[in-house]
Amino acid sequence: MYQKVLFSTDFSPYSQKITEYIGEIPGIREVVLLHVADTAGSKKTGEGPGAGIEQVKSLMAQTEIIIRHLGLKVQSNVDILQHTIHHGTIGSRILKTAEREKVSLIVMGAKGKRPNDLLLGSVSTYVLYHSTIPLLIVKYQKTKSQAVPENEPSKRPLFSKVLIPTDFSAPAGELLKFVKEIKGIDEIVLLHVIDTEKTDPRLAEYTGEAAAKIGAVRDELTRSGFSVKDHISVGYPPEEINLLARQEEATLIAISPLGEGWLRGLKELVIGSTTYAVVRRADRPVLVVRPINRA
């Protein structure tokens, strides 16, 4: 499974949440801890280029200790940028490190600039669009004050209740094969969204076809020993997926990057529009499952 994981941290609250989940990643043995440091900010304030590096090293050491206490091997990397940068530069550095280290999963937090904090940060968006490696983006609901509670109750295990959207395409089938290999899942919630209007005269026909297909998937997973619920809804898939995730209190959304309509646009050659919209709106961790071929 995911033996070697790249954890890209910017020390934000989202990144801090990752340490609560990282030990639960299936098969994890080693963590490549990465922080991309921008020294351009120091130049603007008149400070030396290394003004913030010592603080970064201290924070990295603290994170490394936490991960080692989970029984995992850790290697730390501070990638220092000395020129004016943009989100693509940071994102590309993350992906280059992932490729160089031959990791099987990238884990990173998501942060948005708007008050509801449901939107993706620019670096997360870049990695989501350009990565060919599976990606776990950690998101969570914050309090009304937008502060992380000091005594936040312990969370359920990351893979305890997994919501899996399916459009019955080949990529969706590969996702289900992957999930069947994961141990420790208490419940799987299957969802198929019929992307049409509720007034569509063929809705009954679409629903009947979907019920037969999702029933077959449910039965296959049940035979493999999983507890499974299945749902069919009608509407805009990203909204329906995130709505059900909240209603079912899913701990994780696992989704394929491609789907039935993946050829509709150039951007969708790497990631489908539904997948991007789901991740962008989600208020809980999302695992974008991609096949990995390592020599």
Percent of the chain with pLDDT over 70: 78
Top-level class of domain 4-138: alpha beta
Q: Which residues in the chain are classed under CATH 3.40.50.620?
A: 4-138, 161-288
Structure token digits, residue 80: 């220092």
Give per-residue pLDDT as tens, 217-242: 999 999 999 999 999 999 999 999 99
Cα(48)–Cα(39) distance, rounded to whole angstroms? 9
Q: What is the pLDDT of residue 247?
A: 97
In contact, 215 and 190? CB cutoff 8 Å: no
Cα(221)–Cα(93) distance, rounded to whole angstroms? 39
Paired with 107 in beta bridges are 7, 136
Backbone phi, then psi, for 102, in 5-degree steps? 55, 50
Q: What is the pLDDT of residue 41?
A: 52
In contact, 27 and 16? CB cutoff 8 Å: no
Are β-strands 30-38 and 161-165 bridged in parallel, bridged antiparallel, or unpaired? unpaired
Q: What is the pLDDT of residue 55?
A: 85
Report the interhelical angle of 170-180 vs 203-223 (nearest 10°).
30
Measured on CA atoms in the order 283, 284, 290, 295, is the torsion positive or negative?
positive
Q: What is the pLDDT of residue 145?
A: 43
Whether the pLDDT of residue 116 is over 80: the answer is no
Which is more confident, 79 or 190?
190
Q: What is the pLDDT of residue 155?
A: 67
Length of the chain: 295
Give per-residue pLDDT as tens, 144-199: 444 444 434 346 899 999 999 999 988 888 889 888 988 889 999 999 999 999 89
Whether the pLDDT of residue 262 is over 70: the answer is no
The superfamily in CATH containing domain 161-288 is: HUPs (3.40.50.620)
Which is more confident, 71 or 118?
71
Q: What is the pLDDT of residue 114?
A: 43
Tell me the CA distances in angstroms from 276 to 72, 268, 286, one per residue in order: 31, 9, 11
Cα(278)–Cα(260) distance, rounded to whole angstroms? 16
Q: What is the pLDDT of residue 172?
A: 87
Q: What is the pLDDT of residue 294?
A: 45
Report the interhelical angle of 273-281 vs 122-130 (nearest 10°).
150
Three-class SS of 206-265: HHHHHHHHHHHHHHHHHHCCCCEEEEEEECCHHHHHHHHHHHCCCCEEEECCCCCCCCCC
Q: What is the pLDDT of residue 254?
A: 96
Helices and strands, number each (H, E), in the chain: 9, 10
Q: What average pLDDT does the chain have? A: 82
pLDDT band per the 50, 70, 90 thresholds, residue 264:
very low
pLDDT band per the 50, 70, 90 thresholds, residue 61:
very high
Mean pLDDT of 192-215: 95
Mean pLDDT of 63-72: 94
Cα(209)–Cα(215) distance, rounded to whole angstroms? 10
Which is more confident, 211 or 117?
211
- Picking from 206, 18, 179, 88, the residue whose alpha carbon sits closest to that of residue 7 is 18
